[in-house]
Each structure stands twice: as C-alpha cells, then as structure tokens.
Structure 1
Amino acid sequence: MAGSVEGIGARVQRREDKRFITGKGRYTDDMTVAGMAHAVFVRSPHAHAKVVSIDADAARAMPGVIAVLSGQELVADGVGNLICGWMIHSKDGSPMKMGAWRALESEHVRHVGQAVAVVVAETRAQARDAADAVEVEYEPLPAVVDALDALKDGAPQLHEEAPGNLIYDWEIGDAAATEAAFASAAHVTRMEIRNNRLVPNPMEPRAALAQYDEADEHYTLWTTSQNPHVARLVLSAFYNIAPEHKLRVIAPDVGGGFGSKIYIYPEEMVCLWASKKTGVPVKWTCERTEAFLTDAHGRDHYSEAEMALDAQNRILGLRVKTVANLGAYMSLFSSSVPTYLYATLLSGQYAIPAIHCNVKTVYTNTVPVDAYRGAGRPEATYLLERMMETAAREVGMDPAEFRRANFIRSFPHQTPVIMCYDAGDYDASLEAALSAIDYAGFAARKAEAARRGKLRGIGLSCYIEACGIAPSQAVGSLGAGVGLWESAEVRVNPVGTIEVLTGSHSHGQGHETTFAQLVAERFGVGLDTVAIVHGDTDKVQFGMGTYGSRSGAVGMSAIVKALDKVEAKAKRIAAHLLEASEGDIALEGGTFKVAGTDKELPFFQVALAAYTAHNLPAGMEPGLKEGAFYDPTNFTFPAGTYVCEVEVDPETGRTEIVDFVAADDFGTIINPMIVEGQVHGGLTQGIGQALLENASYDADGQLLSASYMDYTMPRADDVPSYRLMTTVTACPGNPLGMKGCGEAGAIGSPPAVMNAITDAIGTNALEMPATPQAVWAALKTVRPAQAAE
C-alpha cells in the first residue's frame, strides 16, 4: 500500500487541527472540577536573598482565602527537593554538585521569581489579591548572572554544595591526539563564540490542576507535560508526593513545549500537595511574565574554539572550551545538554580525526537552564558552522567547497566523540541547496544590491543532529536516570476499528494523523477508523514522552512492533477460517487473501472472529490486542544543508532575509506536509535567535526582557518564504527508516543567518542576536579600516 491515499508518504491534513482551529481543543486551563480553588504564588523580587520572615496573617483573613502555605510546611510534610536526573562526573571522577532546590523556598532565594509561598483561594482574583498582601522580609545578597563572572574569585556563592559555583568540570575526546594535530597544523582558526540565552514561549503557558480524593487516597494531576509518565515517576519516586499507583497524570492538549514542558516544576508539586492540605482541588495557570521568570531557559554558552587545518585545508583537529550557564538550580535534564547532547556532535558532518572538548557548568542567579528545541545540538552546530565559515574565509577557500572537502564519505563512521553515524549523503543535501539558491549566481546579485546601496551576503550551515535519544543501556552508562525506550499497544476492536495507545505525547507534532497513517498503511483501513490515545497514565501503561525528535524513530517503531504481532495473529485466524496455509495469507487493501485463489476475508470480519471466538485455531486466546516496547539500537542522525541570503542596510543595520533554502535528510517521511510545518517552525525559532531574541539580565539579576514588549519574538515579516526540499537516506537502525524532523530547523538556521550577515558586512565581530543596533555597531568597526586602506 506504499503511496496510498492516506498511508505513508501521503500529504494528509492534520486531523487534530479541526478542533484546534475551531476552539474545541481541551487544554489544562480548560479543565474544571467541582469545588475547584485557585493558586497564586508569592515570588521573590530579588535574584539573591535570605528569607528573613513571611507574614501571611493579613492574607489569610482576606475574602475567599482557603490557605496560605509556606516552604516550612512543605518540608515538614516530607515533600522532596527537585532533582537533576542525569548524573555527570567531572574529569577528576567527582560527581556533579547539585544544590538543594525546594518547591517553596523558606530560607534562601536564588533567582527572581522563585516561589516562597502559595495562596489558595476560591477565585483567581482573590488569590492574586491575597498574594499581594503576604509580607516577606528579605535580606538581599550580591548576585551574579554571567557564567564567566560566577567562576571568578570573590563571586557571590549560590550553593554551599558547589564551591566556586562550579557544578562540574567535564571533558570528552583525546587531548593528546588533539594537541598533536595542532602541533602539525598549517593553519589554525580561533574564535570566541557566545550562544545567547533564550526563553521558550510556547503558545500555551504551563498550568496544573490537582485533585486529591480522600476516600481513595488518590491524586489526579492535569498538567501541560511532554511526558506524563515520567512526571508521575518523578513525583512519586523522588518527590514523595504520592505513591505511583495512587497518582494519575493527564496531559490533555498541550499547546507547544519546545522542551520547556519536559520537566517537573515546583508549581505542579505544590498544587498536588496543596490539594491534600486544603481538601479542595487546586488549579494554577501561569501568566506570561511569570513564565519568563520560571520556565526553563535555553542555550547560554560561552566557548573558545580552535580548528587546525593541514596544508590542503583538511581539518586535523578541533579544540573547544565551553562554559555553560545552568542558572540557579539544576533542572531535570540540564546536566546532559552541554555534555552528551552537545560535545558529542562537534564532529558535525566532517571527518575530523581528533576532537577534545572541556565543559564547565556554572550556577548563576538566573532562571534554571535546560533543554530547549534541539538541546545541545544547536549549540554544537552553531559553534562548528561558524568555525567552518570563518576557516574557509581565512584560507581563501569557497565555504561550500571547504565543507565538501571535509565531508564524511563512508558509513558507518565513528567520530572521536562517541557518536557512530550510521548513514548519510551530505553531498546530496549540499548540492540540492546550492542549486536551489543559485549559489553560482550570487556574485551578480551582490553587485546589483550594491548598486542599490545594500550589502548582500550568503551563508551556509551543514548541520547534523542526534535524535531518538539512544539505547537505554548506552544512555544509562552515560548517567541518564531513565531508559529511553518507548511503548505501544494496538487494540483492534470487534468491529475492526483500531485504538493505538502510545507512550509518546503530542504537543503540536500531528501524531494523531501520522500515527494513524502508519496503521492505515499496514492494515489498509481508513484513518477515520483509527484512534490515537496518549497523555494519560491510567490509559497507557508507560511511556517516555516526546522530546529529542523521538516520536517517529522510537515511538512509531514501538507501534510497528505491536502491529507486527497483531498482523501475525490475524493471519493465523484468517488462515484457519479460510482453510489455508498461514504462509499463503496476504493482507492487501484491508483484506486477507489466499495466494492463487479468490478466497478472502475483510479485515473487520477477522477482527470479529477474534472476539466471537467460535472458530479459532486450537489453543489460541480470543481477542486481537498486542503491546510492544522498543529500545533504539542507536541514535538517528538527521542532517542537511541550509543556505541563507541576506541584505543589510548599512545606514540602519537592519537585516532582511531575502532567500532561505533548507535541504534536509530525515530518512523516511510519513507526512510531507507535517514535516514541512515542523521545519518552518524550527527555522523561525532559529532565525528568532539569530536576529531578535535574548534573555537579558542586569547586574542585579533582574530579567530585563520579561515580556513581549522587551523579548522580541519573530513576526511574520521577520522571516522569508522558505524553500524546502528533502533528500533521503533511510536510517538502518529502526524498522521505518526514520530519522526525525522536529528540531532540525532550529539547529541549522542560526549559523546560516549569522554567516550570511558577517559575509555581508565584512566582519566576524558580531554576536547573536544580530539586531539592527548590533549590526550597525559592527559596521562602524569595519568602515574606518576600509577607509584607511
């Protein structure tokens, strides 16, 4: 059925969009239960301070107030601290230094917005008024917001567990081999590179509704989560909120996550605890500025990088030193982002014989930093692709040809930094992108722009990422606290309709469509007969959720394994009913057929026979329902080439992206339309980072960009009409040959944009975001030098 109307490869419109665009989506904030109260948190206005006292007497006396709860009560009730779930060891073997993080802090706050108390009231307005009435006395302390400053002698100290604010000092690669490569180099390119801090900003802010049923001693949590089962596991096993079998976590429609909804935050914990404490259901919905001050931020790296080349401009070695800002506390997966999700991708698409990377992570008085769309891979790609472009310019070689000369040519390819790439064709993506943008004709376009008084530039980025985050045994050996498999259950009902229960979660990726397309392809049924069930720990046995572009390569592979089992049983039943050999049964177009005959049975009749059970093969159990777990054998490695062309106005510094081409290799594609939407979104986020977005703090730890008035999200007129294309090398590591597409755009686009701008203005002295002011200032440093010449 390959290429069928609704199966694999079909451009099927997303089924879930009907309810979303008609306002029928069901988000956490839409949920209500009888007797529901509302929570508002009292938050610190200081980036660093001791909590001297909390006086809530006036607040408790206000209308509608049910309770005002503090961190002291939380600790007294045995609620645990928040944790980081991925252990990293420093190069000396010592474990990372994890500072204590309480859901409500009663002694020592470490970033603006940290919660010190919660008000529960009958209405949201009453809770907000009472929160304003809670009097908290603070003793302000000096703050530090820059990671490099935090490592200096005399810097304010955040956690006694982490002297010098250093969390870990980690390394990967062969230092001696890398040193030898540099010793023999004909040319060395050096750069200092900053990757700016970002705020995720999903459309739906975080929210939680917690209900404790005293009769059953049972908790239910509706929440905006990318992985409800992991949330239940952490809340029960580590935070001591409730026994796992007494806690149900439901993640209904989730309006975007980008990584920021992977984690358990203080608010979910507190709502569950407060519901039991007060005897009423408790609901909290985050306000937008509150989200800026509490949702995990992304990126924030400072790196010093060196690249060694031989006389033929082949790369001999890469040496990187990175300082990563993890904010005030270690979030759930934060430790893995600047280590195993970053440094292991520093080889990129290139055959680099020797790589060594040192990473230091640091506490500062800022919002905690964790995985954000791409999670380490954008940081690695940005560093490497800015270095590739710069090195090519320094040696006088065309940047495209410099990349081509250093591409990996044979697979599998073992990099010097753990990863073993299984398959790829990097020339194909490069050629497709260069042809589409008319790379050879750029000089003429540049000259024409100059006649109009504009500076035109072109920039490339050849990215690679690691998705479907790897075998459980492998990530366990690297410090992960969980396995990264996925589960699925396929239930064929008596009338032939099908329910697929998946541990993957959808928060905008279109799983209700693409997962159903997979079933339609296999069984020859209509999409309207297939239901996808996810996001409820009482319905789905267990799953690891959605992040790292794992839903296709891992989640759908689990579904394939379950489908295999269902099909095998159905064929046995069909063979028995048709009095044929099982090996002669084929499933074609929704019908079981006997090879070489006209005997056949439609799919629904075989399903009905499985449940009536009047005539089954001897010893066969009734029913047609199978489950499966899938643990990946390797990461998957999407890759591609992005080319950006810009025009810069030298009088204002304003950059216009006049063309952008993306050529991606995602392996097998289930629904091209949905893939294009994912790439469009990722490109826009990456361009936003390159041109506009920055979480900016002042020296006292106040977030200066805590609203959309100050944090500049990209708008429609900031981005071009993208031109997309795909090349295909199937992934050999999973049954569908899929690689993943959800993060690629955000990974590959920032260096392409920055390479284009620096090409246009003639200087590398420019950091993200390349705002008009920053570009104008960079141009001012170039023009005097040109005049002197």
Structure 2
Amino acid sequence: MNAPSEHETGIGASVRRKEDYRFVTGSGKYTDDVQIPGQTYAYFLRSPHAHATIRSIDTSAARSAPGVIAVLTGDDLAADKVGGVPCGWLITDVNGQPMKEPPHPALAQGKVRHVGDQVALIVAATYLQAKDAAELIEVDYDALPAVADARDALKSGAPVVHDIAHDNKCYTWALGDKAAVDATFARAHHVTRIELINNRLVPNAIEPRAALAQYNRGDDSYTLYVANQNPHVERLLLTAFVLGLPEHKMRVIAPDVGGGFGSKIFLYAEDVVLAWASKKLNRPVKWTAERSESFLTDAHGRDHATVAEMAVGADGKFLAMRVHTVANLGAYLSTFSTSVPTILYATLLAGQYSTPHIYAEIDGVFTNTTPVDAYRGAGRPEAAYVVERLVSTVAREMNIDDVELRRRNFITSFPYQTPVALQYDIGDFNACLDGAVELADVAGFPARREEAKRRGKLRGLGFSTYIEACGLAPSNIAGALGARAGLYEVGEIRVHPTGSVTVFTGSHSHGQGHETTFAQIVSARLGIPFEQVDIVHGDTGRVPFGMGTYGSRSLAVGGSAIVKALDKIEAKGKRIAAHLLEASASDIEFKDGKFTIIGTDRSVPFAQIALAAYVPHNYPLDKLEPGLNETAFYDPTNFTFPAGAHICEVEVDPETGAVEVAAMTAVDDFGNIINPMIVEGQVHGGLAQGIGQALLENCVYDKSTAQLLSGSYMDYAMPRAEDLPNFKVGSRVTPCTHNPLGAKGCGEAGAIGSPPAVINAVINALSPLGVTHLDMPASPERVWNAIQSARQSAQPSANPAP
C-alpha cells in the first residue's frame, strides 16, 4: 500500500500512524516506565493449589527479610473493610432470579479457588527483594478436590467452587421461542447435529498487566497508573464499589498500553490491593506481572462446550436452530464475564441467515480455573464458530455447495429483525461473498487440489460468512439486559486561539491508531492541517467520563461523539462568522476550512474564527460566550453490524497431520472507512489471532487437579510469521444508517470470521478420508489421530459376523 502525499490526510486516506514515531524510537511511556520518588515494589504470593482451605499464614520470616516494608494478607484487607472485586453485568436466569454472584476478595480469605489466586502481598524496596521474601511465607493449605471442565462441574458430586452455588451454576439463561423451535424440528426434512468445543485462550498481550498506585495524604487522594482499556470504568468500580471513595478522589491514568484484546478491560484484584496498600503504607507501590503470572491471572477467553442443531427443508432452506452451550466462567466473575456467553453470544446466532426460529440455552458454570471474560470478539467469535461450522456441516450432509447453501439462506432485505433480539440495519452479504470467491480464486481450487494430491498432500477449502454486533449500545437497552454502566462515549474539542485543536476522547488506544484516525476526522471537518490536531485519552483527570475501548466501538461511538462536538463548534463558528461578515447565521456555510456567505465569495477562514473567539474585540458578547470549546456525549441507538466472508485454503500432510494455511482471504463490510491502512492492519492482526486459535493455541488444565498445564510459551503455541500466509483482503461498503460517520468497526472481525473458515477447510481436506469433525486447535497430533481413526473405521472387520 503506497503512502499518501502530505496533503492526503483526510477521511479515506491511508495516513501513516502519527503515534508510531514515539514507539519505534523508544519514546513511548508505558505503566512500567513511570517512576515516582519513593516508590516501592510489590510481589504477589499466589496459590499453588486450585482449591484449598487456608488454615494459617505465617509471614514473620518474610517481614524480617532484607528490604521488606510490609506483608499483607486477606485478613488485613478484611480488617480495613475493603470490598470484593465486583462483576459489572447482572444476568437474570430463566426463572427470573438474579445470577449467583459469590464474593471475590482481592486477597484470598479462608479459601483459594484457582491456581494463581492472590494469597499475600509483599512490598519491598526492590522487586527482587519482594520476590525473595515471598518464599519465606509459610501457608498451611488443606487441599480440596478441584474441577476444571465446566461439563464436569455440572455432574452430581462435583467439587463445589462456591457455597452459594452448590450445583456450580451461576445461571441458566435462554433466548428464543423454544416451543416454535421444537415444533419446527419435529417436521424438518433434515436435521444436522454437531458438538463443538471452543477452546480456552490466553490473551498474551505484548505488554503484561502493570499498575502503580500512589496515595497523597495531603488531599486524601489516589493516583493509579494502570495498563487498562477503560480507565473511567476502572475508577468507577474501584472507588464506588470496592474502596468506598468519592470518584474525584482517584485519578486513573492509562498511558501507552501495549495491546489488550479485551484482557485489560477489567478491574483486577491486583489493582485493588495496590491502591489500598499505597494508603496503608503511605508509599507508591508498583507491580508489573511476569509472563507466568499473565498465564495464571489474566482473564482467559472462550471455553465453551456446545451442542448445536439445524433443521433444514428439502430445498436447503434453514428452518430452525437449537443451541445449548456450557460456558466456563472460571473461579470468580470477572467484570463483564457474565455477558459474554449470553448477550454477546446468543444474540448473534442468526448469523447472516434468515432462519425463522432460534432457541439458545446457556449454562454459566464456576470451575477452579482462571476467570474467563472478553477476548477479541467477546461472544461473537463463539457464535460465528457455532453457526458457520453448522452451516458447512449441513452443506456436506445434504451435498449442497458451501457457497450455494449460504446464498440460499442469506438475509437480503433490511432492516431485518432476527429471532434472537437484534435488528440488523443494513448489509450486503452476497457482495462480500462474491468478492471473496473472486479474490480467493475459488474457481481454480480443483486444479490446486489435484496438484497437491500429486505431491501426496490433501488440499481443503473452507468458508465462513460472519456477522458481529459492535459499538456496544444503547445504554437503556444494555441496562435492561443487566449492564451496570452506560455504553455511551464522550468527545471534547478544544480549539486554541491559533486554530490548532486538542481532542479529549473517552475511548482508549492500545494499538488501534486513535491519534491518527481521530485527527483525520477533525482535520477533514475543520479544514485544518492534520498535524495541528492532537488526541488525548486515557486520563480521568483530563478527559470527561467515557467508557473506553472494546467491542470495536472506538470509531462508531467515540468517533461519533467527536463529530457531535464538531457539530457544535461549526454551529458556533457560523454565528461568529455571521457577525464578522454582517450576515445571518442561516446564510453561512462551512466548507474546506472557510465560513462563507452562501452564493458569494465573502468568507473568513477557520483560524480567524478561532482567534476572534479568544480575542473578542469584534465579537457579539451579548449573544455568545468567548471561547471555542465544545463537549458532546453520544449514545448510539443500535449496535453496528460489520459482516464479511472469509475463505481459507489449507494443505494437510496426511503422514504427519501438519496443516499449512496456503491462503487466507477476507472481504469485509466495515461501513465507511477512515484509514484503509489501519483497517487492513487490524484485519491482519485479527486473522493471525483467529488462525492461532484454530490451529495452535490451547489453554489446558489437568482435569483432576485443575493445574494449568500450558502455563508458558513452552506449552502454549502462539502463531509465528511462518504459520501465516500473505493475506488477501478486500472490502465492500454499506454505511451504517444510525451514526454520523456511517462506520461499523473493524478491530475484531479477523478473529471472528477466520476460525470456522480454517476448521471448515481442514475438514474439507480430510473428508475424502471420512473425517467429518475436528475441534480446535487442529494440531498435527489431533489431525493425525483423526486420519488414523478414519482409516481404521474404513477397514473391513477382521472377524465379520456370520
């Protein structure tokens, strides 16, 4: 992709990211880079057991160790009446009862419930001194039986994780018309049934979680530097629900953040403990996770076990869908964990298809594992995987071409009310599929398959046509569905006297390129140079209350708030210009950075209006206040619905089971695009993560002890460059109908559409051998075993029955 000229910086231009200069030159400032005079260092002693009663904790030796300032335990936390870590989304079960919400102490009190649970905090002059002292703490544990698999946790006699949930169920939640679905299945021409595992993932952001808490005794206030995706929500939860503080007594600063993918949305126990300890010790306290801690304590993703069925007519039309999912929530409820397998998953089970009836039932289950929460896509990848694996299975069983079956069932008229609550406003699913089929050269696949066969390899082609709900909204509906916070966004525009602009956004950038994209919007709208626009985010002390970044909401919601603020600036600018030009404000138009009397050549540039607003020598002071700053909040009326078609082509070595992704094609509809280069980068990153889940990544616990077996990069396979092909990426555009930018969001699409495409491709390659199912990840061992099982099943019995 060619770089634009210096003048090509407006909407639709592939502007190079302005923030990258400081990153590539080492000038970024991350939480671990922050240094405060007198700061101390924290280390957390963590449980080696997945489930145990704490009989006693002897900290005496640790307290006397060199450099140690304090050793604090759950008893100290309880004595100071520090609340537990709250869940931010209340789910109501099928019986109308609230979910079971057990306490989550920030330091273990009486029990530990997963390996890595925080047992004690050691604070010392250096990190190594704190870590060494932790080895001197003696904890007397009484180990208890543990359970790691959510399906096992539901069985009679399973270990009980929390006393308030003796069956280990947090909730049973359902969506759809069960009676209508059951009746349709009873008369269906064909029924397809599949069982799927959506494997558990570890987020593995390049920057580990970190926090630095400072208490100011002078004004009884706190400052918390933290690697977090939504600092205002962190502050709200921490002050109002845990520490019992007025919000204005805490400033949360999320500086540069090195990736999040959902794992840094949440309020974590460590943040609570550090803030509390900073006051208790009257010293700044810093903690940065080691990678092993990240594996143990960063909220994991996915971990669903699903049975899905599709009722189909003789013509291949989908009639009804029935889904039951057991969702592993882990040992405690993370901030948004309860919403992921319910509101963010079941509502997307219609996919791109006009299936008349859908019923989904979800069991949210406690286990002795790390809490599970949002990970890139958050519920939508899980839904797309179920739908697209089911659709390709129907195609194979009914001997209908994959592309043809999808086309027969696509939604083609909009707006479209799905049977699972959401209403899609617009889309063109055929256009994306047609584009992907052409870009992937599907017509040439048979020849490539034959060529691979001559080399002893198996070639497969897999399809996925996904849809997702982004720009989480609106607040009133989210509140009715259990959200304990609003889902709007804020934008503040400060126009300086010289005409340059600073934008304060409640969205947070941790790799998405806000400082570039938002500047493009403002530059294009005001007609000022791109370089004269600065973006500020991630600081509750400078930015009005906003909701942060997740769910591909930054542009559709955060960008729309900025546009609304720009609307106010333009309206005021027209009034100032009207005064200067001695005209009516209704006769003024604003275009290309100039306010002009319509139909004339009389105009004033934006910079002159800005100066007049701050140097009001010739200004209608009786009608307007000086200054040109405006703030706007934007609460969307609906989700946005990015959609697309992904096609994967794989080559399998039947002798080793190794899978090579030979080609990956993605054609997506993200609505209007501000910066194509940034969008393409987001798609590439998502595809890499999706391929990683499909072929490589798997977070594994021992089923009997709930010990994490994949706790390092020695055991957990992240995708490398050599695992990925050169991606083919295209786009189609149907602008969103209900936000001013017409934007839909792009950040999660790659991770949503690619996993089912990859697995469908692997199964397509193996189907001539009789392999019809594989769970993710399709590792060489799994593929090889599936091939051997299919070959054995195909062999005639050695002792046929008489």
TM-score, structure 2 length as denominator?
Answer: 0.97
Determine which of 45, 64, 78 is the counterpart of 1:61. 64
- Map of 2:600 onto structure 1: 597
User: Superposed, which structure 2 residues align to 1:71-150 within 5 Å?
Assistant: 71-150=74-153
Q: Counterparts of 2:761 and 2:99 in 1: how far apart (Å)?
A: 39
Tell me the distance in 1 between the aligned counterparts of 2:296 and 2:643: 34
- Give, in whole Å, the separation in 1 of the partners of 2:59 and 2:170: 36
How far is the alpha carbon of 1:750 from its aligned partner? 0.2
Structure-1 residue corresponding to 2:489: 486
- The 8 Å contact of residues 355 and 416 in structure 1, kept in 2 or not, is answered as yes
**Alignment partners' CA distance in 2, 1:778 and 1:585:** 71
Structure 1, residues 384-428: CA drift from partner, whole Å, max 9, x if none? 100000000000000110000000010000011000000000000
CA deviation after TM superposition for structure 1 residue 85, in Å: 1.3
Alignment partner, residue 782 of structure 1:
790
Match for 1:731 among 736, 756, 767?
736
Aligned partners of 1:396, 1:619: CA distance in 2, in Å? Answer: 73
Report the AA paired with residue 624 of structure 1. Answer: L
1:278 positional shift: 0.8
Question: What CA distance in whole angstroms lies between the structure 2 residues aligned with 1:597 and 1:316?
Answer: 62
Correspondence for 1:389: 392
Matched with 2:24 is 21
Q: Kindly state the Cα deviation for residue 576 of structure 1 after the two structures are TM-superposed.
A: 0.9
**1:298 maps to 2:301:** yes
Give the match's secondary structure for 2:747. Answer: coil
Give, in whole Å, the separation in 2 of the partners of 1:373 and 1:568.
Answer: 39
Q: Please list every run of 5 or more consecutive structure 1 residues that lacks an aligned counterpart in the other structure.
A: none
Superposition map of 1:171-190 within 5 A: 171-190=174-193
Matches within 5 A, 1:459-478: 459-478=462-481
Q: State the match for 2:800 in structure 1.
A: none
The alpha carbon displacement at 1:788 in A equals 4.5
After superposition, give the CA deviation of every residue in 1:538-564 in whole Å (9 maximum; x if it has no partner): 101100000000001100000000000
1:451-479: CA deviation from partner (whole Å, max 9, x where unpaired)? 11000000000000000011100011111
Asked if the contact 1:187–1:308 (Cα under 8 Å) also holds between the matched residues in 2, the reply is yes
Query: Matches of 2:69 and 2:793 in 1, distance apart?
Result: 68
1:684 corresponds to which of 682, 688, 706:
688
In the alignment, is the contact (CA less than 8 A) between 1:4 and 1:10 conserved in 2? no
| Distance apart, 1:575 and its partner CA | 1.6
Cα separation, 2, equivalents of 1:491 and 1:239:
34
Segment drifting more, 703-712 vs 579-588: 579-588
Q: Is the counterpart of residue 670 in structure 1 residue 678 in structure 2?
A: no
Name 1:768's counterpart in structure 2.
Answer: 776
**Which residue of the partner structure matches residue 657 of structure 1?**
661
Deviation at 1:106, TM superposition (A): 2.6
Q: Which amino acid aligns with 1:31?
A: V
Deviation, 1:444, is 1.4
User: 1:252 maps to what in 2?
Assistant: 255
2:629 to 610, 622, 625: 625
> What is the DSSP-based 3-state SS (H/G/I as helix, E as strand, rest coil) of the residue aligned with 1:178?
helix
SS at match of 1:163: coil
Q: CA deviation at 1:765?
A: 2.8
CA distance in 2, matches of 1:612, 1:114: 59
Report the Cα distance in structure 2 between the residues aligned to 1:178 and 1:777, rounded to whole angstroms.
Answer: 36
Q: How far does residue 181 in structure 1 lie from its aligned partner after superposition? A: 1.0
- Distance across 1 between alignment mates of 2:618 and 2:116: 66
Q: What count of residue pairs does the alignment treat as equivalent?
A: 787
Residue by residue, what CA displacement relative to the aligned partner does 1:556-614 show, whole Å, maximum 9, x if unpaired?
Answer: 00000000000110111112112223233233332222333332222111101001111
Once the two structures are TM-superposed, the CA of residue 696 in structure 1 deviates from its matched residue by 0.5
Counterpart in 1 of 2:339? 336
Equivalent position to 1:720, from 696, 717, 725: 725
**How many Å separate the matches in 2 of 1:590 and 1:411?**
37
Question: Which of 581-590 and 235-244 deviates more?
Answer: 581-590
Q: Secondary structure at the match of 2:109?
A: coil
> Percent of aligned positions with the same letter in both sequences?
62
**Contact 1:342/1:376 (CA < 8 Å) preserved in 2?**
yes
Structure 2 CA distance, aligned partners of 1:671 and 1:479? 35
* Alignment partners' CA distance in 1, 2:451 and 2:562: 54
Instruction: State the partner residue of 1:759.
Output: 764
Higher mean alpha-carbon deviation, 609-618 vs 46-55, is at 609-618
The equivalent position to 2:707 in structure 1, one of 699, 702, 705, is 702
Per-residue CA distance 1:66-105 (angstroms, 9 max, x = gap) = 1001111101111101111111111111111111110001
Alignment partner of 2:643 out of 639, 643, 653: 639
Matches of 2:104 and 2:530, distance apart in 1 = 46
**Which string of whole-angstrom CA distances, capped at 9 and with x for unpartnered residues, describes residues 326-345 of structure 1?**
00011111000000100000
Match of 1:529 among 529, 532, 535: 532
Q: Per-residue CA shift, 1:641-700, capped at 9, x if unaligned?
A: 000000000111000111111000000000000000000000000000000000001121
Residue pairs, 1:160-559, within 5 angstroms: 160-240=163-243, 242-559=245-562
Deviates more, 1:3-12 or 1:236-245: 3-12
Cα RMSD, aligned residues only: 1.1
Structure 2, unaligned runs of 5 or more: 1-5, 798-802
Secondary structure of 2:135 counterpart: helix
Question: Which position in structure 2 is the counterpart of 1:9?
Answer: 12
Q: Distance in 1 between matches of 2:322 and 2:41?
A: 52
Kept in 2, the 8 Å contact 1:585–1:594? The answer is: yes
Preserved contact between residue 184 and residue 310 of structure 1 (Cα < 8 Å): no
Deviation at 1:483, TM superposition (A): 0.8
| Alignment correspondent of 1:616 | 619
Indicate conservation of the 8 Å contact 1:241/1:273, yes or no: no
Contact 1:220 1:247 in 2 (8 A): yes
Q: 1:786, CA displacement in angstroms? A: 4.3
Q: CA deviation at 1:787?
A: 4.8
Shift of 1:132: 1.3
8 Å contact 1:241–1:269 — kept in the other structure?
no
- Residue 753 of structure 1 aligns with an amino acid whose one-letter code is V
Q: What CA distance in whole angstroms lies between the structure 1 residues aligned with 2:26 and 2:643? A: 36
Task: Give distance in 1, aligned partners of 2:182 and 2:555.
Answer: 40
| SS of structure 2 residue aligned to 1:557 | helix
Instruction: Check whether the contact 1:464–1:640 (CA below 8 A) recurs between aligned residues.
Output: yes
Equivalent-residue separation in structure 2 for 1:508 and 1:22 (angstroms): 16
For 1:363, give the aligned amino acid: F
3-state SS of 2:666 partner? strand
How far the C-alpha of 1:4 sits from its partner, in A, is: 6.9
Does the 8 A contact of 1:553 with 1:736 survive in 2?
yes
Return the alpha-carbon distance in structure 2 between the equivalents of residues 646 and 225 of structure 1.
Answer: 37
**Which residue identity is paired with 1:494?**
P
Quote the Cα distance in structure 1 between the aligned partners of 2:681 and 2:371.
29
TM-score (ref. length: structure 1)? 0.99
Q: Is the 8 A contact 1:241 1:272 kept in 2?
A: no
* Equivalent-residue separation in structure 1 for 2:516 and 2:324 (angstroms): 43
Paired position in structure 2 for 1:744? 749
Code of the aligned partner of 2:119: V
Q: How many Å apart are 1:131 and its aligned residue?
A: 1.1
| 2:3 aligned residue | none
Q: Which amino acid aligns with 1:685?
A: Q
* SS of the residue 1:332 aligns to: coil
